[in-house]
């Protein structure tokens, strides 16, 4: 039996560079993993894939990315045997936090261990990229600059440990919808990835906080103005910076002081009734 965690991520920057011939968007993004994680337990079975999730409404068949990751490893490695996967879900769903990718990445690493497959990180990332663009990052964790569909990764110096308040407005945003809305009205203002990367390399956190930016934020905010409201509230509570993650709708605030992050989380819950999570940035797996 193997127990493994799949961590959530936020995007500190996210730019869309264009639409590719294969229908995917070319992106450039700095991704950051969080301590907030789902827990997955994998147990050997004689055959087949059995999946349970403690969150009602979430698929437990081949539509679940965790299921697909297990099927891919079984097929790729010619495994004669099956697996039971039990997921304790803590990452909010359809929130811009890559919860599904986190689970798929955890299953890839978990299967590698459970069946002693000795797949390298590069092999795991190649398998993960077949299922979803964020999965290679979810396998690696830490702070990464990703391009292409998100699968070309350049590991960066770890972003310093900082407290993160996540607030999910009561709406679900699907990633394909956000990209379609982006194509219809691409925003003019874009994040400056080069400046952010320079500031990070120089350890200039004040500049990093100023340079966070997400080109999808105005896109989702146009349909869901509550995103802007949540961002303003984060700033009003003293966040060093606040922004929507991925295609949203979750808004994160970064706080240098644990106390003020905890106070903000509490107040946010009281003021809005939102689903609020208090967590921290996390470094690379296994480092």
Residues 191-230 that bind ligand ATP (CB under 6 A): none
Please check if 167 is assigned to a binding site: no
Instruction: Using CB under 6 A, pick the residue from 32, 214, 247, 279 that binds ligand ATP.
Output: 247
Residues 19-48 that bind ligand ATP (CB under 6 A): none
Q: Cα(237)–Cα(278) distance, rounded to whole angstroms?
A: 14
Q: Is 264 exposed, middle or buried (0-12, 13-18, 19+ CB in 10 A)?
A: buried
> Could you tell me the two tokens for 18?
């264009």
Integer-rounded Cα Rg, in Å, for the chain is: 19
* The one segment of 40-48, 96-104, 204-212, 255-263 that binds ligand ATP by CB under 6 A: 96-104
- The answer to whether the CB of 10 falls within 8 A of the CB of 103 is no
Q: Which segment (19-27, 99-107, 201-209, 257-265) binds ligand ATP by CB under 6 A? A: 99-107
CB of 105 vs ligand ATP, minimal distance in Å: 10
Half-sphere exposure of residue 104: CA atoms within 13 angstroms, side-chain side: 28
> By rule CB under 6 A, what string of x and - marks binding of each residue 157-176 to ligand ATP?
------------------x-
Q: Is 134 a catalytic residue?
A: yes
User: If binding is defined by CB under 6 A, does position 246 make contact with ligand ATP?
Assistant: yes
98 part of the interface to ligand ATP, by CB under 6 A: yes
- Of 16, 27, 95, 111, which lies in the binding site for ligand ATP, with binding defined by CB under 6 A? 95
Alpha helices for 48-147 (secondary structure H): 65-77, 99-114, 121-131, 135-140
Binding mask 117-156 for ligand ATP (x = CB under 6 A): -----------------x----------------------
Q: Is 94 labelled as part of a ligand binding site?
A: yes
Select which of 9, 15, 103, 168 is catalytic. 9
Q: Where are the alpha helices (DSSP H) in the chain?
A: 65-77, 99-114, 121-131, 135-140, 175-184, 193-201, 205-211, 217-223, 226-236, 258-272
Minimum CB separation of residue 98 from ligand ATP in Å reads 4
Q: Does 253 bind ligand ATP (CB under 6 A)?
A: no
d(CA 188, CA 185): 9
Catalytic residue among 121, 134, 158, 168: 134
**161 catalytic residue (yes or no):** no
Nearer to ligand ATP, 78 or 176 (CB): 176
Q: How far apart are CA 33 and CA 47, in angstroms?
A: 33
Q: Measured from the CB of residue 146, what is the shortest distance to ligand ATP in angstroms?
A: 12
Query: Can you tell me which residue has the tokens 């310093």?
Result: 160
15 in contact with ligand ATP (CB under 6 A): no
Task: For the chain, give the number of residues.
Answer: 287
Residues 103 and 81: beta-carbon distance below 8 Å: no
The edge-to-edge listing of strands for the beta sheet with 241-244 is: 241-244, 251-255, 163-168, 275-280
Q: Which residues are catalytic?
A: 9, 134
Site residues (CB under 6 A) for ligand ATP? 58-59, 63-66, 93-101, 103, 134, 175, 246-247
Binding-site residue positions: 92-102
Known binding-site residues for ATP equal: 92-102
């Amino acid at each position: 039996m193997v127990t493994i965690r799949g961590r959530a991520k936020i995007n500190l920057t996210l730019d869309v560079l264009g639409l590719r011939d294969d229908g995917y968007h070319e992106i450039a993004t700095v991704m950051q993993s969080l301590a907030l994680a789902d827990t997955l337990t994998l147990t050997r079975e004689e055959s087949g894939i059995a999946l349970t999730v403690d969150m009602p409404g979430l698929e437990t068949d081949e539509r679940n990315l965790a299921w697909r990751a297990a099927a891919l490893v079984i097929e790729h490695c010619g495994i004669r045997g099956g697996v039971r996967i039990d997921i304790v879900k803590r990452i909010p769903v359809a929130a811009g936090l890559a919860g599904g990718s986190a689970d798929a990445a955890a299953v890839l690493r978990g299967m590698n261990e459970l069946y002693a497959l000795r797949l390298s990180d590069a092999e795991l990332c190649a398998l993960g990229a077949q299922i979803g663009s964020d999965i290679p990052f979810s396998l690696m964790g830490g702070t990464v600059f990703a391009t292409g569909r998100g699968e070309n990764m350049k590991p960066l110096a770890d972003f310093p440990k900082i407290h993160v308040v996540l607030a999910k407005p009561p709406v679900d945003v699907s990633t394909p919808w956000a990209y379609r809305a982006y194509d219809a009205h691409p925003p003019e203002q874009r994040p400056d990835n080069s400046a952010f990367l320079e500031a990070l390399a120089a350890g200039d956190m004040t500049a990093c906080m100023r340079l966070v930016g997400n080109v999808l934020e105005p896109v989702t905010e146009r349909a869901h103005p509550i995103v802007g409201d949540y961002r303003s509230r984060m700033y009003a509570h003293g966040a060093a910076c606040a922004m929507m993650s991925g295609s949203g709708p979750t808004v994160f605030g970064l706080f240098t002081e644990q106390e003020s992050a905890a106070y903000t989380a509490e107040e946010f819950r009281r003021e809005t009734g939102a689903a609020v999570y208090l967590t921290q940035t996390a470094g690379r797996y296994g480092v």
